[in-house]
Amino acid sequence: MASDLDDPLDFTGRVVLVTGGTKGIGAATAQAFLGAGADVVVCGRTAPAALPAAAGREAFFVAADVRDPAAAAELVDRTVERFGRLDVLVNNAGGSPDADAATVSPRFVEKIVALNLLAPFYVAQAAHGAMRTRPGGGSVVNIGSVSAHDPQPGTAAYTAAKAGLLALTKALALEWAPEVRVNHITTGLVRTGSAASVYGADGGASVAGVVPMGRMAVPADVARACLFLASDLSAYVNGADLAVHGGGELPARFLAAKSASGQV
């Protein structure tokens, strides 16, 4: 959100809040904004052993369960209290283990929807209050999933919540512009520690073969997209869905044909 397009990725003097910012994509995003000069607040339910750091500075940690509306509001209040403003919110907290839709408990469904849809709504509402009256407004970036577009087995509750997050992004973009821009990133498989059960023990080598770019994403790929959407480079981008998934996945029929011909 730099004011000068000669250096649009300079976030010096800006304040960024990253939910779930202590590991994986969230930590990489926090580090990217720290490296760009921003003051960064991260949250989680428990404090990590080490906080994201870059350029000789460290993120500020607030313990919060963002599924609780009161905790979400307090998180934003503490951010503004600490740094005097809030310019960017990255709604990154989310995720879900696989679960059989036929037998999964109602409690599980409620928790997954709360984390992946309700929590981003709650934090965004509070952030809007802090951003809308500030000169220059603010930017919200919601971290979504390719599951919202192409569901996979075992992800019914997660898919529904992420599809809701994408729709929520577009709805908030309509209501909150021009003071606050709201955009969405569709991520595919990302090489993080918590995703090991998805991409396998080979470190993702097999999965990489079905991605047009020839590799899985790393957290920094998503972090750089967050920098773009929060910067003046995207000043007229609102309600967008930016795909950061390497082109998606090659169609099964294509892979089957290649396999039959001995090419894979």
Residues annotated as catalytic (active site), given as ranges:
158
Q: Cβ neighbours of residue 201 under 8 Å, at least 6 residues apart? A: none
Q: For residue 219, say if its preceding peptide bond is cis, omega within 30 degrees of 0.
A: no
Q: Cβ neighbours of residue 259 under 8 Å, at least 6 residues apart? A: none
Which strands sit side by side in the sheet containing 241-244, from one edge to the other? 60-63, 39-44, 15-19, 88-91, 138-145, 180-187, 241-244
Distances from the Cα of 174 to the Cαs of 167, 177, 178, 180, in angstroms? 11, 6, 9, 10
The Cα angle at residue 81 between residues 79 and 82, in degrees rounded to 5: 65
